[in-house]
Amino acid sequence: MPKEITLNDQICFQISRAHQLFNKFYQEPLDEYNLTYVQYITLLSLWEKDGVTVNFLSQKLGLSNGTLTPLLKRLEKAGWITRNRDKADERRVLIHLTELGKEKKEPILQAVQGCLNRLNYSDDEFAAAMDTIIDLQERLEKTNDK
């Protein structure tokens, strides 16, 4: 007789639960900066490469333009970024960090790293966890390409 399938045996459930816990986990260091987790990863992407299009961010973050646009408007209103039409192509909107967005990079990254340190991963454990997660993502992407 096959093993009974339970909720806790489902990878999708465990990933969803881990995602919920990570959002809550990250909220502690981000509250000081009035940022949500999704706003944080948007800034993280801009710290890697500033002056990108909305479409670039959408693809990098895996968010639809419909989700990203209101988020970017809130970041702009709070003074983290600017959104301007590309002079070379008016259809494109370019996203740039403001001075606030640049100045707060190190303090935010330190706060988040302090939070991550509480997970007590060794360097090898962290690398193994990342390898497993990336492998799963790649497997999922392959199945979605079919």
Residues of the chain with pLDDT under 50: none
113: closest CA among 44, 14, 15, 38? 44
Report the pLDDT value the prediction gives residue 116, as an integer from 0 to 100. Answer: 85
Report the pLDDT value the prediction gives residue 60, as an integer from 0 to 100. Answer: 96
- Rounded alpha-carbon distances, angstroms, from residue 8 to 11, 23, 119, 137: 8, 20, 22, 20
pLDDT tens figures, 58-99:
999 999 989 999 999 999 999 999 999 988 888 889 999 999
What residue ranges of the chain are covered by domains with CATH 1.10.10.10? 34-101
β-sheet with 52-53: strand ranges across: 52-53, 93-97, 81-85
Cα–Cα distance measured from residue 133 to residue 66, given in angstroms and rounded to the nearest whole number: 27
* CA quadruple 49, 62, 104, 82: dihedral sign: positive
Fold assignment, 34-101: Arc Repressor Mutant, subunit A (1.10.10)
* CA quadruple 61, 120, 25, 107: dihedral sign: negative
